[in-house]
């Protein structure tokens, strides 16, 4: 089967402005990224202008005047994470009390020329703040608009963000947090640009603390108590599969599985899960494939997958074995996983179609392949997604998945409800109209099946 699918107080001088506003905060923190990656940015943004003014107005008392402000210390720190999806650590700090930054104030000023009332303050960086001031200090509802398109909105008391604050990323993602004196302290949730929950937990002094949930786009998640660095590290952490009932419970480092056992998830009335380890459960560990090793334990099945699918002779003539539902499943259910060795697209393109029977594109760089003899379940059954056959009217699709054991792979997800014992099929996604070619870029058997299907008046779906 071949599937090539395709934050501290400060102000800054003009002299150092270009350096300072190379913004360390434009990087969005990702799943398992150490919280300091974004929290120091939010702390600065919540506290920007939080210092005595001692301003010198170019046009005193006139709304829209230029204001020169002594620069104070600002720190925007970033701490790296070893976890999957983490970004590179960067940091920025400036220390000087005798240099100045220019800004424009639009709105009423008090007798000392300080913003007083509802004002708009625009900084040389093109960031701006709109909100209420009392003698130069932010007091009341206010909102920062940053030059990258992100915003920070909340209620200010004596120049510090207090209570609920909403940071909106340039891509539409949102962090809803609780601020105390400009620092994240208390419950917080983060959502991606599509509104999916990606983090839920607590903060203390801008650090994640206590029990936290981190969610993957595929709806798997990791739950546990973070360490003093805000990392999901410890001996009582769990990866929970998308069904919310099946888990791998044990040792994790920065969200990455070290050793864990199969466990059932049991939630109490407060929503805090507890885990019951299955008797005689094998030990699972992180086992990402390479170009030459498909898995360390090739005959250790995935426990979630084992509950949902089995391999048997296909109902499609000449297709050999196929993948079947072991139980009824609703639409959008993850049924199986597609792990394999990781090779390049050029390697796939340079070899005969006969060697590409179990290949699938993971991303623009990597292809997952289940080469012989691992196509047989007696040699490899750690994942079974490669057993799904093609259909021009499939009931499933390939989707990205971050697996606790295999790392980034593909999964098979239902397009509609399926019944117990129903064969699971996917559209292999060959290009039917490749540039410069007269027909599909696909193996001969696929071309024959496509021709027959079109002769019957069919229109392929799921491509």
Q: pLDDT tens digits for 280-335?
A: 999 999 999 999 999 999 999 999 999 999 999 999 888 889 999 999 999 999 99
- Is residue 11 scored above 70 in pLDDT? no
Residues 385 and 311 in one domain: yes
Average pLDDT of span 11-31: 37
- Residue 293 in any domain: the answer is no
| Per-residue confidence band for 32, with pLDDT thresholds at 50, 70 and 90 | very low
Residues 43 and 167 in one domain: yes
Lowest mean pLDDT among 70-84, 121-135, 333-347, 421-435: 70-84
- Residue 184 in any domain: the answer is no
Residues 220 and 139 in one domain: no
Residues 70 and 149 in one domain: yes
- Residue 460 in any domain: the answer is no
- Residue 1 in any domain: the answer is no
Each residue of 169-193: pLDDT tens digit?
Answer: 999 999 999 999 989 999 999 999 9
Note the pLDDT of residue 306: 98
Residues 276 and 315 in one domain: no
Q: How many domains does the chain have?
A: 3
User: Which residues, in sequence order, are bridge partners of residue 66?
Assistant: 104
Residue 340 φ/ψ, nearest 5 degrees: 180, 180
Outline where DSSP puts E strands in 24-86: 56-57, 66-70, 74-76
| Per-residue confidence band for 124, with pLDDT thresholds at 50, 70 and 90 | confident
Residues 36 and 75 in one domain: yes
Note the pLDDT of residue 218: 95
| 3-state SS assignment for residue 220 | coil
- Taking the C-alpha atoms of residue 297 and residue 4, their distance in angstroms, rounded to an integer, is 26
Report the catalytic residues. Answer: 338, 386, 390, 398, 428
Note the pLDDT of residue 434: 63
Nearest residue to 166 via CA among 178, 176, 156? 176
- Residue 374's domain comprises 303-455
Regarding predicted confidence, which is higher, 53 or 421? Answer: 421
Residues 324 and 440 in one domain: yes
- Is residue 62 scored above 50 in pLDDT? no
Residues 250 and 160 in one domain: no
- Taking the C-alpha atoms of residue 154 and residue 168, their distance in angstroms, rounded to an integer, is 12
Note the pLDDT of residue 26: 37
Note the pLDDT of residue 341: 97
Residues 39 and 119 in one domain: yes
- Taking the C-alpha atoms of residue 227 and residue 203, their distance in angstroms, rounded to an integer, is 12
- Is residue 87 scored above 60 in pLDDT? no
Residues 61 and 115 in one domain: yes
CA distances from 191 to 38, 270, 281, 332 (A): 14, 22, 34, 20
Note the pLDDT of residue 317: 84
Residues 323 and 437 in one domain: yes
Each residue of 393-403: pLDDT tens digit?
Answer: 999 999 999 99
- Residue 140 in any domain: the answer is yes
CATH (domain of 103): 2.20.110.10
Task: Give the domain-ending residue among 252, 286, 320.
Answer: 286
Task: Give the domain-ending residue among 151, 179, 207.
Answer: 179
- Taking the C-alpha atoms of residue 236 and residue 249, their distance in angstroms, rounded to an integer, is 7
Residue 53 φ/ψ, nearest 5 degrees: -80, -55
Note the pLDDT of residue 270: 73
- Is residue 1 scored above 50 in pLDDT? no
Q: Please report the DSSP string for 305-342 in residue order.
A: HHTTEEEEE-SSTT--EEEEESS-B-TT-EEEEE--EE
Nearest residue to 102 via CA among 71, 74, 76, 144? 71
Other CB atoms within 10 A of residue 337 CB: 22
Regarding predicted confidence, which is higher, 321 or 45? Answer: 321
- Is residue 146 scored above 90 in pLDDT? yes
Nearest residue to 413 via CA among 427, 429, 395, 430? 395
Note the pLDDT of residue 294: 97
């Amino acid at each position: 089967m071949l599937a090539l699918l395709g934050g501290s107080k400060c102000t800054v001088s003009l002299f150092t402005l270009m350096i300072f506003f190379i913004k360390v905060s434009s990087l969005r923190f990702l799943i398992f990224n150490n919280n300091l990656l974004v929290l120091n940015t939010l702390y600065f943004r919540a506290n920007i202008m939080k210092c005595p003014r001692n301003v010198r107005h170019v046009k005193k008392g006139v709304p829209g005047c230029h204001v020169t402000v002594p620069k104070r210390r600002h720190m925007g720190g970033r701490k790296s994470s070893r976890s999957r999806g983490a970004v590179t650590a960067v940091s920025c700090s400036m220390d000087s009390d005798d240099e100045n930054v220019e800004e424009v104030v639009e709105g009423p000023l008090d007798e000392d020329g300080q913003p007083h009332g509802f004002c708009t303050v625009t900084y040389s960086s093109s960031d701006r703040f709109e909100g209420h001031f009392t003698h130069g200090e932010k007091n009341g509802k206010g909102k920062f608009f940053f030059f990258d398109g992100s915003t920070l909105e909340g209620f200010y008391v004596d120049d510090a963000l207090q209570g609920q604050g909403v940071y909106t990323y340039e891509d539409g993602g949102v962090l809803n947090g609780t601020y105390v004196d400009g620092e994240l302290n208390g419950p917080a949730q983060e959502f991606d640009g599509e509104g999916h929950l990606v983090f839920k937990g607590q903060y203390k002094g801008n650090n994640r603390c206590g029990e936290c949930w981190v969610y993957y786009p595929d709806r798997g998640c990791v739950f546990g108590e973070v360490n003093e660095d805000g990392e999901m590290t410890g001996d009582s952490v769990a990866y929970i599969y998308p069904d919310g009932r099946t888990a791998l419970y044990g040792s994790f480092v920065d969200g990455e599985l070290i050793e864990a056992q199969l466990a059932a998830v049991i939630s109490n009335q407060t929503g805090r899960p507890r885990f019951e380890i299955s008797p005689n459960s094998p030990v699972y560990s992180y086992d990402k494939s390479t170009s030459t090793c498909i898995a360390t334990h090739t005959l250790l099945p995935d426990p979630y997958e084992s509950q949902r699918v089995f391999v048997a002779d296909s109902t499609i003539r000449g297709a050999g074995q196929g993948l079947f539902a072991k139980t009824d499943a609703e639409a959008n259910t993850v049924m199986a996983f597609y792990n394999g060795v990781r090779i390049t697209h050029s390697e796939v393109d340079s070899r005969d179609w006969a060697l590409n029977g179990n290949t699938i594109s993971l991303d623009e760089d990597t292809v997952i392949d289940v080469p012989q003899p691992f196509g047989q379940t007696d040699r490899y059954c750690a994942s079974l997604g490669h057993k799904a056959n093609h259909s021009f009217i499939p009931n499933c699709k390939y989707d990205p998945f971050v697996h606790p054991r295999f790392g980034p792979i593909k999964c098979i997800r239902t397009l509609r409800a399926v019944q117990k014992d129903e064969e699971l099929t996917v559209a292999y996604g060959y290009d039917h109209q490749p540039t410069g070619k007269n027909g599909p870029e696909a193996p001969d058997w696929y071309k024959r099946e496509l021709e027959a299907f079109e002769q019957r008046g069919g229109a392929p779906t799921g491509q």
